[in-house]
Amino acid sequence: MKVVAFSGSPRARGNTRTLIDEVLRGVASAGADCEVVDVASADIRPCRACQSCSTNGICVQDDDMRSIYPKIAEADVLVLGTPVYFWGPSAQMKAFIDRWYALVNGDDGNRLKGKKAIIVTAYGDDDPTTPEHVIGMFRTAFHYTGIDLVGVLGVTASAPGDAARNAQAMREAFELGKGLGN
């Protein structure tokens, strides 16, 4: 099984990445192949709505998505991690998701259908409803693309290191990843 995680946090070593890494540690313990792509530091331009990909399934923009598309297509499971910013995903994660349009169009058809996904969010307050809009956006996108949502982890983690200090959250992240191997 191939698992690829995509981190949408501009904080390279922040709480979102800590949670993603723990999910992947669980994945690795179950024997799966895994890697992380830092979409927040990648050159991913916003979708231009030019519709070019609707005919051939290839985005005309020459940016880092060219090297990321094959990773998405080859993955069995996608782990998508983003901090919650104003009740939505980071701008970097949103641009990344918008560019998936090229993967559901063209001669090859929908290259996302049948994949599984996990959502990981970190947010800076104690209200457990804070990530609802992010999770709802992903659920709707997954429904549209035929991706099966198999896990969600939302963690209150604002200050640097909050996620790592939260033993329960780290256990849940590890078990979520480990469960993919079962």
Looking at residues 164-180, what average pLDDT do you find?
Answer: 96
Residue 106 has pLDDT above 80, yes or no: no
pLDDT exceeds 70 at position 130? yes
Q: Residue 74's pLDDT band (boundaries 50, 70, 90)?
A: very high
Domains of the chain: 2-181 (3.40.50.360)
- Tell me what pLDDT residue 57 has: 84
Q: Which of 46, 27, 96, 94 is nearest to 67 (CA)?
A: 96
Please tell me the predicted confidence (pLDDT) of residue 182. Answer: 64
Determine the pLDDT at residue 56: 82
For residue 109, what pLDDT is reported?
Answer: 76
pLDDT at 46: 96
Give the 3-state secondary structure of residue 121: strand
For the chain, how many helices (H) and strands (E)? 7, 5
- 101 SS3 class: helix
Q: What is the DSSP string of 104-120?
A: GSSTT--SSTT-EEEEE
Joined tokens for residue 122: 């970190």
Give the residue carrying structure tokens 């990530």: 131
pLDDT tens-place string over residues 22-40: 999 999 998 889 999 999 9
Q: Is the pLDDT of residue 63 over 70?
A: yes
Amino acid identity of 24?
L
> Model pTM?
0.95
- pLDDT at position 93: 98
Q: Lay out the sheet containing 77-83: strands in order across.
A: 33-38, 2-7, 77-83, 116-123, 148-156
pLDDT in tens, 136-161: 999 999 999 999 999 999 999 999 99
Q: Which residues pair with 121 in a beta bridge?
A: 82, 154
